[in-house]
Each structure stands twice: as C-alpha cells, then as structure tokens.
A and B are shown apart, each in its own frame.
Chain A
C-alpha cells in the first residue's frame, strides 16, 4: 500500500525518508517539487500526483509536506487520512509538529513510523498502543534512561493491541480521577454585503480529557439531542446505543481525545453573534481609496464576544494603508496584502471602528473586486446552538470522578462579503 514516506520542508528539502517496502529513490520527489513550484500557494499543490511509475499522495500540514509514494491502487483518502494521523502522532508525542522537533527526535519518529505501518499497511495507529510500545520522551525518563541504560521501547505487546478496545491501555491509575468535556461550536457562515446570511451552519465538537483509573464506562447524555443532525464518533462510542437512546456510551481512551463531532440542524436559523458595517471605496483616479469598518454584537445571548479578529485580503494593488482604530490594533502585511485588525473584547456601548485611507499602486487601474472579511471570535460559556450536556454517569469503577463541562462558541469559516 504505502510504499515510502518523505518529509519535505517548505524550501523543498527532504529531511526524512522512510521506506516500508523496497527503497524508492528520493528523486521521485522531483515530480512533486515541480508541482510545488507551479502552485502559487502550498495549499494548491494537488494532493495526488501521477508519475510514470509511482503515484505521489501528499498533505500539507504545519508548514510541512508529508509525501507518500504509492505504487498500486489504493483509496487516496486512506493514505491522506494516515498521513494526517502521522502528523497528529508527532504532535501528540512531541507537543508540536515541526521540522526542528522531527529532526531532534528523528530516531524516535523513525521507530514510530516503523510501528505504525507494516509492509505499507497500518499496524498500530492508536496513540495509546504506540505509547506503550515507544514511550514518549520526558525529561525524567531520559535522565533515568541514561543512568540505567533502560530504553524507551516496550518489550511486551501492548494490551490494547489485542483487546477489542485498542484505544485504552490497561492498568490506568490516577490519584485525582477527573473527566472534562469541552463542547466547542463553530459558526460557519457567509454573509453577503447587505449583511443577510447566505449560508450559515453550526459545527460542533466534543473534546474530552478523561483521566480516570481502571476501566470506566461512561454515559454522556444531552438535554436536547434532537439538535444534532449529523454526528461522527470516536470508535469508542457505541453507535447502537446512540441510535436507540441518543446517549453517548463509551469506554474512553486515556487522556485527550475527540469524542464526537456534530452538525446542528438549524435550517439557517443560526444566531449570528456579530455584524459588520463596512464600506470600501476606491477613487476613480486610481490613486487611493477609503475603508471604514465597524463591528458590533448582534445575537450574543447576553454573553460578551471576545477575541474578535478581522482579516481582510486586500486587492493586489493596495500598497499601504493608513487607518485609525478606536479599539485594538491593526497590521498590514504588504507581501501577502493581508490586513489584520485585532479588536479583542466587543463593547456594546462603544463599537470599535477602523477607518482611514488606502493608497494604491500608481497607474494601476481601480480594483474591480471588493475583498471579503474573515472574522474570528470567541464566546465563552455558550454553545450557540443551545446544546446542553444533561449528565455524565460512570459505571464500572467505584470511585467518584470529578466531572466538568465547558462550552465555547467560536467563529469557524465566517466570511463577510464586501
């Protein structure tokens, strides 16, 4: 299936290679680098490239390209999904996924890759299983290892690998037993220039951090599960139980994991927490223009909107901006033509405003198109869909865990067309 993996940095250097079958020369990456050259943006490199003898499937993540070499038919999503798992695994082990971190831990990364695939077919991708085979680095452990000569590699088959619940390792012990759930909802919306909603939907995710001893069996129920339109689950969730009773019943993995993602059935009745008054004009003469932006709260359910950040991709001909913000600060990157206005907390009494003039490249024609605004925001203690966790019950263990639920609403792909 997956023949080889190359990690390529943004400047086109291959800094790690791993082969699971016979060795494929790294010159195969030239086809990819060629396509990389052609694309204006790294995101525009086609994920699948066909070469005379191989197929290259790549993902772009954390400023790195994960490039896999395929020789025969295989579902492309299979490979893409796996590559993302590799990236997540590196993130999970070393705290971040970057070239430096990978280079610093190259042997461990290599060992992990060796465990993850056998002959190109995934063998162990559950983080719990991997962590038992190859223990993640901690300062304490590395000191102990240097002193005692013991290693980071487990010599027993992880119990998870054999069990029907590979996501959980056996013998978990905590002194403080706690289970936290974050309900994070993102509003995806497109508003047109008049402020009417073209398209809006709410996507949610329940992130969990469960640190419970033994083999707890949890049941999480919602007050209003009918809101959930489409869901996808971590493999630990018993689907049948959800189908029949609309409760999440699961034996959780140890540590952090994404319990479920969901889509809210709101038929466009999504509360839009902010509005933007905007005007952008370019003078006919073509030498400049004016920009005036005001952001205000709309349907916030009585909560404060925080972390408001407005990003504007300006037309190519905008050379510089000279603006005045009543709140927050703005930056303009002339290379990427991106204007970022960091507002922070929205004060309903005094609406933040950004206005001023734009100067254009001399001689260039007046830009025809208006840029669009991307808005970022955060509302604490609110799930915009109104979803509420009803209760969390634990079976299977005797102790009383500490439980907590937190709600956050964020802007997802929230765009205002100007």
Chain B
C-alpha cells in the first residue's frame, strides 16, 4: 500500500459512510452531495461536531479500518475529492493524516488538507501542532495552497517562532517577484509574522516596497508600517521616514493607507502633513471610501491646529448668551436677567465683529469645499466623517448642509441609526436650528428598537422650542400610550425636560403628568411622580393641590422610588399642606416596618421636618418613627434615626448643632437642572468611538482647540520646478506610463500649487485646479483627462475638433474616449498630425507639467463653469453653421492643426479685428459699457490701436533678452472685448529690437484651466526690425486670477509665457445710482461683505487721491455719493457678471474703512487686499 493510499483510505471510508448516512436519513439531495460539489460538501467535515450522530458513526467506522480492501477499490473511483473527511476532525489521529496529505506531491491533496486546517482555524480549533508540516508548503506552486499556508502562518507564527523563520527566505524571494500581487502578498505575510527576530528584515522590506513601481505594493507597504510598529516601537524613527516618503506619493491608492499608518504611528507629527495637505484635499474624492474616512478625520485635527476659528466672533456671543438662554431659563426671574444679558451682548456684537475681522484661510476653505461632495457618499462612515468635519471646522452658517445627509443616514440599518442619532443628539444641543426643519424625521415608530426610540426622543427634546413644543408634546402624548414601558418612562422624562426648558409649557406639561398619575401602569406613575417632583421644586407654592393629589397616591403607589419622592415632596413643602402632612406621616408610621429602605429614610426625613415645623401635632409620631427606625435591620436607617434624634429633639446633652436643625433640614434646595446627557459631549471629536462611549478610548487623539493666531500658512506651499523648461526634462517613457495609470478619475493627482505670490492665492490655485479638473473629469471625456489632463480649453478644442472631424471625415465616426486604450490611440492620431518636436512637448506636459497647470485654472464657482460651458456650446453652434471653407489653408500649417482650425473659425466673422475692436464695441455693447467707453474715446479713435493710457499698468510678457530680441509687453486695456463680452481685453505690444525681422507671430498651445477661453490675435505676418506693433486678444479668465499660459511663437522659436490678471482687471465698470448701489449692497451682506480698516498712506489723503487709486487698482466706475467722506464704486465681473461694490469711508485722522460686497467671496477678498495695498502706499 502506498502511503497515499493509506492516507486516503479513511476519507473514502468516511465518504461511504456519508453516503449511507444520507441515504438513510434522507436529509440531503444528491446534488449537494460532497462528490458532486466539493464546495457544497464542505459542511460535512465542517460540521463534524461530536454530538452529530452521523459523524460519530463514520468516526468510529474510519477508526476501525476494518474494510481496507474495499476502500482501496473505492479509491480509484472516487478520486481524491474526499470531502467526507469529516471524521478526521474528531479523531485523535487526524493530524497525522493531514500531515501525510501535506507531504504528498499532489496539489489537490495539499489543498484539501489546507482547506480543512483553515476551517479548523476558522472555528477556533487549535491546529498549531501541524506547523512543521504546513510551513514546508510555503513555497508551493499552487496559488491557493500558498494563500492558505499564508493564512496559517500568520495565525500561528507567533507561537512557533523558530519554525516560522524557515519560511522567511521564501518571502524574501517573493518580494523580488515580477508579479506585483506576489510581491505584495509576500510583504503582507512577512509583516504579519509577529516574530521580533525578523524586525530588521521587515524594515528593509518595507523600505524597499515603499519605492516599488506598483502602487499596490506601496499600499501594502503602508499597511505593513503599523504592523511593524506594534511589534517593535523602537523602529518609530525609521518608520516615520517611510511614512514621510509615502505621504508624498501621488496615487489615490496609497493615500488612505499611509494616512492610516500615520495615525497609528505618529499622529503627533502634524508637520509631516503640511506639504501634502493640498494634495490630500484634492485627491480626496478619488480615494477609496475607507481611506476617505481616515483622511478626513486626520485633516479635521490638522485644521484645528492650523487655522483660525471661523466662528471666533460668534462663539464669544454664544458662550455668553445663546447657551444660557436655553438652559438658564429655569426660573422666571432668571429669564429676565438673561434677556438683559442678551441685549447687552447684542449691543456688543457689532463691536466684537469689527474688532477682529476674520478672513478664512483659503486652505481651510479648500478643505471644506473638497469634502462637501462626499456628503453624497453611499458609505455612512464617509458621510459621518464629513459631517463631523463641518461641525468642528465650518463657519456656523455653513454647518447646516450636513443635516440633510445625516437625516438620510437615518434610513439605514439600525446600527447606523444608533450611531448617527448619538451624534445628532450632541450636535442638536449646539446647533439646534440645523435639525429643526427635519423634526418630523425623528418621529418615533412603534417598530423602532427601544434604544433608537430613546435616542430619537433625546433629539426631539433637544429640538423643542417655543414654536414647535406643541407639536412635540402632541407627539409625546402618542408615545405615552406605547406598549414599550421603558420608552414610556423615557418619554415622561423628556416631557419633564421640555417643561424645565420652556417656561410657557410648564403648566401644560405638569397637568399632563398629573393625569398620568392615574395611569394603570405603576411604572408610568412612578416615573411621573419622580419627574413631577423635580418640576414642583421649581415653583412649589403654586401647586399645593398637586402635592395634595400626590399625597393621596401614597395609598396606591407601591414603587419605592415614587413613594419616596412623594414623601420627600410633602416633607419639603409641608407648609403648603399643613393639614395633610401629619396625616401622611401617621399612615406611614403604620406601615413603616414593611417599607423599602429608601422609603423608610424618607419617612424619617418627613418626620424630622414635621417635628421642626409642627411639633405640636407630630411630636409623638416622630418619636414613634424614630423608635421603630432605631431597631431597623438596616444600619443606614439606624444611623439616620440616631443622628436625627440628636439633632431635633432638644435634650440637655444636645450639641451645638441642634439650634441649626431648622436651617439644616429646611434649607432652600435648588431645583435640579434637567439636562441632556449629551451636553458638552462635543469636546470629543464627533463620530469617534470616544464620543459614543463618552469616555476616552485608547489611542484617541484629542481634538485640539483653535489656535489664537494662525500658524504660518506658507508651510503648505510646495516648491515646484519651473514650469517653462519642464518639457525638456522628459524622463523615461515608462515612468510616464505608470503615471498615466495612476492618474485619478475625478481629481487632479497633483494638487500642489505652484510657487505663488501669497498664501491666499496659492491655495486658491490649488482649489481651483481641483474643481477645474473635476469638471473635466465629469465630462464624457473623463478618461481622456486621464490621458491628457489639461482641462478646459484643451477639452473645448478637442470637442470642437471632434465636431470638425464629423464634418470633414464623415466616414470616420467620432471615437468616444471613455476607454483609456482607445483614447490613447486617438491621442496618438492627434499627435501624429503635429510635427515631431511639438509632440514631445505636449506629451510631457500632460505628464509632468501639471504643477504649472494648476496655476492657470479657472474659477471655482460652478455658475461660471456652467456659463462658460453654455458659451462653448453656443460657440460650437456657430462653428457648425459656418461652411468649412478653409481646410486647404489649414493643411499648409504643419504646426498645429486643431489650433489653426480654431483660429479660422473664430476669427472669420470678425476680420482684422484688433484694430476695430473698440468701434465694434461701441455698436454692440450695452449702454453701460458705452458710458464707460466714452471716457476713453480718444484712445479708441487713435489711428493705430489703443495706446495704454497713463494709469494703465504694463506688464512684461517676454523680456528682450529671453525673447532673443523680441520683447513683448501687455496691459489690460479696460476695453470691452467685442467678439465676446465675457472676455477681458488684453493689449499686447510687440517690439522687435533684433537685427532681423520676426515672422509669423502667433499664439499656440494655450494651457488653460477648464472654463477659461481665449481668442488669439490674428497672426502677425512680419515684424520688421525696430518696429513695434500692438494687437488685442481676449481672455475669459472665468473670474479667477489664474494665469493663462500659452506659447508665443515666431517662425523660429517658441516661448512659454503666461498672463496673470490682477483681480481688479476681472471686472468692468457699470453705472449705478446711489440708491441702486445701496439696494444692491443691502442684498450682498453677510458672507458676501468684507470690511477692512486701513490707515491711508501719506499721499493718499483726499477724495480725489482715493478715487484715483481705487480706479487704478480695479476697473470700476464711481457711483455718485452725497458725502465727501465716502467714495463708492461699482462694477461687475467680466465672466459671470456678478456685482462688485466697493465703498471707502474716510475718517479725519487718515483712517479709512474699505467695504467690498461681492457675490464671489474670493474675488471680494482679493480685491480688498489689492485696494488696501494701493491705499496704504
């Protein structure tokens, strides 16, 4: 008998038994029999519980082994699929058999053995003695066996350290495997083996994997970091280095995992985040959902350390007024005080606001903006993470957006509801208004689990106020009738809380509760008594009849707590019920011995109080009660009796205290404050385990308080290589390829903004680029944007190009680019039409030029996006309608086909446009622009083109030296751009100071953020040496200060240039009357208003100077104004037409106040800065 046969005899035997057993018991149909489907049959050996009669049977049969011959015969037929091996599990010999199976050279046997071993592990059975046999198979070729061996190893390596070491070399080999899955799983297992001796090997492997080509392996490396850290915390420093490296990784796959590692290893090293902050914000939408949760939670903490409290001003108010009004209105006199206080605060409010104007850090804004879409996630954890981020970080006015999403989660599983309600309960205390519109969503159904009911009740109570209390109380009335008594008790308490918090309904509630006293259910009555007691304590004198009513209840109520409460009430207010109180005591004295301890104590209490107030009637009774208590079984009661006797009964020995007995017993007791158990829970980060438990869980990172002053925001700036020579740095092709694969779906993989002038605009660019690219991602060409991630104009071009293609080459259908393969093909086709140098250039740019691109991006506002899109459509229509008459000409131009196509199309209808621009404009533009135009009539009519007037600032586009003799300057002519009123006119002046003439001056290859558009000037054929020529081009900046990047080409050279508009040039003046101005200003209050104080510069005094300075800084027109202390200006943004209103109020001492009202807050903020700067100079 071969060893294998020997080994298999048992299984086959067992299998037979299974069959017979099945036949006999008729339990299972043949389809499920183990032979037919091993997977389905697994349960047989799985279920091998000794108490199962079937298994017991073949257990013994197998053990006996008396049918050897027959079984061997079966072996040939049945093959190796002995799923019926169940018996082995229950046999003492089982492991030997498994060992033999593992030693065999048949993979199927090994697999079978491993499956059974893993099943044992899954059931929690010990399989550690198989370790040597299993570990030998670690190098098995069969991937499933291998995986199962890995599972086993990880489970038992810690127990069998020495043997585990045998496997290490296999993993080390695996780490070098060309298959990324094998590399990754080798690292996974290696790092999961908790054996201290291999720490250096693990460290090395992690370091290596962190720079692996495959992002999946890098992700695994990130996962391995916390494993190693928990094994050997001494490695922390090395691990932090790896974390730092991986944090810089640009793939979404790695981001979540590395942040998780960061949180576990070095959450205190917040400085590591600075450089990656913007990238993380921008990548966030593409990270897998679990990573999103971790990143958002971490960023919440980060933001708390780096930014200022957006509610700085409100929070001052809130602490004083708002909060207190809610809880403090316990007594009527209190309330009045409160009102005074509130009034005072209100008076103070404006001054507080003025004292500290708050401008949100753009990075802070970036975070809020980029997390908001995630409120729509299907994953409750993500929604909760965003909600807590908004709760902790957003300005008060914006927090409201999370309510809807949280209410949505309430439809989810009851566990999710439970957690969400806990958090809503906490939030609803701080921000009641937020959930008020959703009040009805918290109504309770009889089918809700009790814990959900109680939480909903909590939220309803928190939301109750004067206006909605009647509906809530009506709802509560239904709840009281519920069958769920715990819930009814909670409702009664909730009513009590509503009554304390809202003075108006106190009597109604009290009456309702008193009615409940006649309820048949004792628990309900008891709970009511307790709550009534608390309520009465607030105003006992008005309610002596209720007390009397309750006194009557002592005959019926048996719940000790309720009895005790009644007794306490009568004792406390015995003066209000002078007749009844002694009678109650009399009754109680009778039943004293049969009462519960808690009631006995209250009887003694009552007796003492009565003795002090009405000793004539109750002296004897008291003596009697005290005597009874003296011999009570409970020592507490005996002690209390002795103590009270000494205090109240005057004897010659009585101590000094007895004269104060009255004061001691009948002191005024403050009314209890009924408050939510969720009050102040928000010092825990919401959504956290600690918040849920209301106790600090292990590893919880405190949410830091806002800093007093914001730390330097420039730490988040990322240095970027210069954009111009980037394309020459083109590295290997593979590198680019890999990058392409990693490029995220919706977001920009590289969020870092370029080297930017100020922190403000720096982050603006980052955020803008995000929305820009996101938009491009959401278009139908999303995949394409993976390939060539220039968005905006590029995309437009392509669309247009596609249109063209449709027209021109009808045979060739437009190939949609959603498949990346296809799109890359198409890309190829496109680039083929370009000549070689260009191709290299554009390709690398798509790969690496991202950094510079982010700089030139479009506005963040959706409206403008929409608008621009609309316009693109219009434009397209126009394009289509025109007969494509020029193609031959285009083909002559080798440089760039689609570009020239655009050129022609766009400029055909308006030939030789630059010169005529202003004139056209006169005819076409509105009255408003006409008025503006009037002031510049001279320029317009000048024979050449607009010469920059004195107060127009010229900027350099190309320096003489870099331009090899060609110098180019530009200025914003402040003329409406007639071909497209949404474009800013830029006048460009070329001066050729070289010796030879320059030919074919034109623009090429604009790199614009999505939404931005530009109309090139017509090509300048020749520019003789020494000559100067001016042209006008239009750029639609989409109301953002992102630069427009493009190439300026001559017949020989190309220069990368960019035009970045000052914010003041993004608007055009409009005419307005004083009243209109005031009206519009009134509509743009709140967040749309930015006010700054300034001390005017020396040369800047006087109305004229101010006007001159402001109009220089921004293209605005003056609005007439009655006061000479105030100057007003009005304009609208060029692209979206949003109003921009500026007013400067000067004061005597040279101080002034600048107010900007603009719908677009970013524009407003930037404009204020510019105006301040110009006024202080």
**A258–B143 alpha-carbon span in the complex (Å):** 33
B236 within 8 A of A: no
Partner of B285, one of A50, A114, A239: A239
Is B38's CB under 8 angstroms from A142's CB? yes
Interface bits A274-288 vs B (CB < 8 Å: 1, else 0): 000000000000000
The B interface, classified by DSSP as helix, strand, loop or mixed, is: helix
A415 within 8 A of B: yes
B230, B377, B381, B746, most chain A CB atoms within 10 A = B381
A308 within 8 A of B: no
Interface residues of A in 166-215 (CB under 8 A from B): 166, 188, 190, 192, 198-199, 201, 203, 214-215
B188 within 8 A of A: yes
B151, B420, B700, most chain A CB atoms within 10 A = B151
**A293–B111 alpha-carbon span in the complex (Å):** 62
B111, B119, B158, B819, most chain A CB atoms within 10 A = B819
The smallest beta-carbon distance between A18 and chain B, in angstroms, is 7
Is A151's CB under 8 angstroms from B124's CB? no
Is A73's CB under 8 angstroms from B293's CB? no
Is A22's CB under 8 angstroms from B42's CB? no
Is A48's CB under 8 angstroms from B689's CB? yes
Is A368's CB under 8 angstroms from B447's CB? no
A358 within 8 A of B: no
Interface residues of B in 485-537 (CB under 8 A from A): 519-521
The smallest beta-carbon distance between B340 and chain A, in angstroms, is 39
A359 within 8 A of B: no
Contact status of A157 and B180, CB under 8 A, knowing A162-B216, A240-B775: yes
Q: Which residues of B contact A388 (CB under 8 A)?
A: none
Partner of B42, one of A104, A199, A249: A104
The smallest beta-carbon distance between A270 and chain B, in angstroms, is 12
A34 within 8 A of B: no
A36 within 8 A of B: no
B1125 within 8 A of A: no
**A408–B938 alpha-carbon span in the complex (Å):** 70
Is B744's CB under 8 angstroms from A369's CB? no
Chain B residue nearest to A47 in the complex (CB): B415
Contact status of A230 and B408, CB under 8 A, knowing A18-B122, A77-B381, A198-B440: yes
Q: Which residues of A contact B880 (CB under 8 A)?
A: none
Chain A residue nearest to B31 in the complex (CB): A139
Q: Which residues of A contact B373 (CB under 8 A)?
A: 239-240, 243
Is A216's CB under 8 angstroms from B818's CB? yes
**A137–B818 alpha-carbon span in the complex (Å):** 32
Q: Which residues of A contact B774 (CB under 8 A)?
A: 239-240
Is B689's CB under 8 angstroms from A157's CB? no
Is B378's CB under 8 angstroms from A258's CB? yes
Q: Which of A118-126, A325-333, A345-353 lies at the interface?
A: A118-126
Interface bits A143-166 vs B (CB < 8 Å: 1, else 0): 101100101111111000111111
Is A238's CB under 8 angstroms from B777's CB? yes
Is A16's CB under 8 angstroms from B123's CB? yes
Q: Which residues of A contact B818 (CB under 8 A)?
A: 215-217, 251, 395-397
The smallest beta-carbon distance between B1143 and chain A, in angstroms, is 34
B107 within 8 A of A: yes
**A16–B121 alpha-carbon span in the complex (Å):** 9
Interface residues of A in 80-114 (CB under 8 A from B): 80-82, 84, 100, 103-111, 114
Is B746's CB under 8 angstroms from A238's CB? yes
Q: Which residues of B contact A263 (CB under 8 A)?
A: 404, 408
Partner of B816, one of A145, A365, A396: A396
Chain A residue nearest to B481 in the complex (CB): A369
A44 within 8 A of B: yes
Q: Which of B5-13, B690-698, B899-907 lies at the interface?
A: B690-698
Interface residues of A in 114-144 (CB under 8 A from B): 114, 118-119, 121-123, 125, 137, 139, 142-143
Contact status of A107 and B743, CB under 8 A, knowing A142-B39, A156-B181, A214-B819: no
**A97–B179 alpha-carbon span in the complex (Å):** 34
B253 within 8 A of A: yes
Is A151's CB under 8 angstroms from B123's CB? no
Q: Which residues of A contact B214 (CB under 8 A)?
A: 157, 162
A374 within 8 A of B: yes
Q: Which of B668-676, B779-787, B956-964 lies at the interface?
A: B779-787
Q: Which of B219-227, B346-354, B633-641, B1022-1030 lies at the interface?
A: B219-227
Is A44's CB under 8 angstroms from B449's CB? yes
Is B122's CB under 8 angstroms from A16's CB? yes
Chain B residue nearest to A84 in the complex (CB): B413
Interface bits B362-385 vs A (CB < 8 Å: 1, else 0): 000000000001001111110111
Is B451's CB under 8 angstroms from A17's CB? no
Is A17's CB under 8 angstroms from B443's CB? no
A391 within 8 A of B: no
**A334–B230 alpha-carbon span in the complex (Å):** 55
A389 within 8 A of B: no
Is A313's CB under 8 angstroms from B416's CB? no
**A111–B158 alpha-carbon span in the complex (Å):** 20
Partner of B520, one of A77, A154, A313, A365: A365
Partner of B380, one of A81, A110, A163, A365: A81
Q: Which residues of A contact B383 (CB under 8 A)?
A: 232
Contact status of A111 and B151, CB under 8 A, knowing A164-B286, A215-B819, A239-B376: yes
Chain A residue nearest to B745 in the complex (CB): A164
Is A232's CB under 8 angstroms from B378's CB? yes
Q: Which residues of A contact B286 (CB under 8 A)?
A: 164
The smallest beta-carbon distance between A214 and chain B, in angstroms, is 6
**A191–B1049 alpha-carbon span in the complex (Å):** 74
Partner of B416, one of A22, A80, A125, A203: A80
**A74–B701 alpha-carbon span in the complex (Å):** 10
Interface residues of A in 276-331 (CB under 8 A from B): 313, 315-316
Contact status of A219 and B118, CB under 8 A, knowing A72-B699, A104-B42, A157-B180: no
**A397–B816 alpha-carbon span in the complex (Å):** 8
**A15–B43 alpha-carbon span in the complex (Å):** 12
**A15–B140 alpha-carbon span in the complex (Å):** 30
B289 within 8 A of A: yes
The smallest beta-carbon distance between A61 and chain B, in angstroms, is 7
Interface bits B202-226 vs A (CB < 8 Å: 1, else 0): 0000000000001110001001101
Chain B residue nearest to A251 in the complex (CB): B818
A59 within 8 A of B: yes
Contact status of A19 and B155, CB under 8 A, knowing A105-B42, A199-B440: yes
B483 within 8 A of A: yes
Is A78's CB under 8 angstroms from B290's CB? yes
B482 within 8 A of A: yes
**A156–B700 alpha-carbon span in the complex (Å):** 38
**A182–B607 alpha-carbon span in the complex (Å):** 73
Q: Which residues of A contact B20 (CB under 8 A)?
A: none
Interface bits B841-871 vs A (CB < 8 Å: 1, else 0): 0000000000000000000001001100100
B194 within 8 A of A: yes
Contact status of A108 and B778, CB under 8 A, knowing A164-B252, A203-B411, A369-B482: no
Partner of A111, one of B147, B405, B475, B741: B147
Contact status of A75 and B449, CB under 8 A, knowing A47-B418, A249-B778: no
A14 within 8 A of B: yes
The smallest beta-carbon distance between B658 and chain A, in angstroms, is 48
Is B449's CB under 8 angstroms from A142's CB? no
**A151–B146 alpha-carbon span in the complex (Å):** 11
Is A55's CB under 8 angstroms from B689's CB? yes
The 27 sampled A-B contact pairs (Cβ below 8 Å) are A17-B122, A44-B451, A46-B418, A47-B415, A47-B419, A72-B699, A75-B297, A75-B688, A80-B415, A80-B416, A106-B119, A137-B39, A145-B38, A155-B143, A155-B179, A161-B253, A162-B741, A164-B743, A190-B443, A230-B404, A230-B408, A232-B377, A232-B408, A233-B376, A239-B778, A368-B481, A395-B818
Additional A-B contacts beyond A151-B142, A151-B143, A157-B181 (11; CB < 8 A): A17-B124, A77-B419, A104-B46, A111-B118, A137-B40, A164-B744, A164-B745, A190-B445, A217-B818, A258-B378, A415-B447
Q: Which 4 A-B pairs have the closest CB atoms?
A: A396-B818, A72-B699, A151-B144, A164-B745
